[in-house]
Amino acid sequence: MYKHNYIRKQVFAALIGSIFITTTLVLISDANGKYQSVNGISAAFSWDSYDPDINGDGTKIVFESDSDFLGECILDNQFEIWLYDTVSMTYTRVTTPFNHSVIKQNAHISADGTKVIYRNQPNPTVWFKVSDIILVDTTLMTSTRIGTTTAVFNPGDYLTISADGTKIAFKYDTDLPPNNMEIWLYDTVTMTYTHKITNSGNEWSSNPSLNADGTIIAFNSNSDFLGQGNSHREVWLYDTNAATYTRITTASNVDRTSSSPSINADGTKIAFVSDSDILGQGVVEGQNEIWLYDTVAMTYTRITTASGTDRDSQNPDISSDGTKITFQSDSDFFGQGVVEGKNEVWLYDTAIMKLTRVTTATANSTSGVSIVPRISGDGTKIVFASDSDFLNEGIVNGSFEVWVYDIIQKDLSRITTALGNPCTAYLPLVVKNGL
């Protein structure tokens, strides 16, 4: 089964004769950042909000959306980066393009809420091949371009930022050969690249996660950094001060993989995804589970046990103190009738070893999925995207919105409402010669 890390929908309009046909391209990414497309057709006017991230105390949320929250004539499918203040309940538009076809995505926010980073693709006709990384100071509302790709295949994505916003790690390919993806570390104060995790060959390193001060990077790679004969994807740690690698996982056989690490503030706890039978419990190949690794005790804890071999747990995110982990899964952990493929958001408390189901898909949703949850550093709030109408508010069928779950109050709130362009003109994005 193809295991995805997140689902991305991008709508393109192609001019055929005198008729505009709008096509939804669904891109499914694995933990290495490689994409597959699943074709589908959508109506011309649909508005969605995706890929939210939340700061340390849960007061700031960044996300991408083509909804026109402030009535500024944003075009359908013109995705912008937005910042939402949960205290004042106000939106701030972070990006304003010189060209409506510029694609902006993968936004992340620092724990202190002062910095936002996102991936900017100026040329949508070269999908996932040429992109920039943009750093935004949310206090001054100034933008800085920190990287530009120019080679054949150089996506700067899988971004992560330290708690104080001084360090940024990302997957990048600026060297030959193509597809030799490496992890880079950028210092936002000195405006310099300080480290590069260099692969042992033409391999793929991805999914970086930074601890609070940016001195430790957790990531996954199929590179053989320690000369152990490794050729499959494992989770690694890189200490930027000592310039040393630590291998966190060892696959139970050559067909097993570990990926998508999320590291806590002091670097002592790492949540990750793996189908390896790490503890000899009979985990089936392809059955991805959520695991926790303690770097001090050097011990593994299995967080999930799939309800079936076709069920999947993905996208873990850990709180600053390492006591709470959120993730998405279509496993029916409690025997409540969760449908295969219908991902829900879950929360695991490591202190009391308790699993909590955060979402329950509504029957009227098209895909009925809740995806890519992120937890605030203080472990009090979870933000995620979903097309479920949890509060029976009449959400347009198939529209993804951003939601916040208050762990303390056990309360679910919707922070986005799909709003179309109030202007009369609709200018479709024309992509020549396909992708």
- Residue 259: give its domain's CATH number: 2.130.10.10
Residue showing tokens 């649909």: 46
Token pair belonging to 397: 């069928």
In a domain, 420, yes or no: no
Q: Give CA–CA dist 171/185, Å, rounded.
A: 9
Of 338, 343, 429, 316, nearest in space to 66 by CA: 429
In a domain, 430, yes or no: no
How far from the centroid of its chain's Cα atoms is residue 391's Cα?
Answer: 25
Average pLDDT value for residue range 348-366: 88
Q: For the chain, what is the largest distance between any 2 Cα atoms, rounded to a whole number of angstroms?
A: 66
Residue 427 has pLDDT above 50, yes or no: no
In a domain, 298, yes or no: yes
Token pair belonging to 291: 């695991």
In a domain, 337, yes or no: yes
How does pLDDT run across 217-232, given as a tens digit for each residue?
999 999 989 988 877 8
Average pLDDT value for residue range 144-161: 67
In a domain, 32, yes or no: yes
Q: Are 325 and 292 in contact (CB under 8 A)?
A: yes
In a domain, 434, yes or no: no
Domain hosting 238: range is 6-414
In a domain, 261, yes or no: yes
Token pair belonging to 207: 């999914």
Q: Is 150 exposed, middle or buried (0-12, 13-18, 19+ CB in 10 A)?
A: exposed
Residue 205 has pLDDT above 70, yes or no: yes
Q: Give CA–CA dist 149/151, Å, rounded.
A: 6
Which of 1-10, 174-183, 213-222, 314-323 shows the lowest per-residue confidence on average (mean pLDDT)? 1-10
Of 208, 216, 201, 255, nearest in space to 233 by CA: 255
pTM: 0.85
User: How many structural domains comprise the chain?
Assistant: 1
In a domain, 320, yes or no: yes
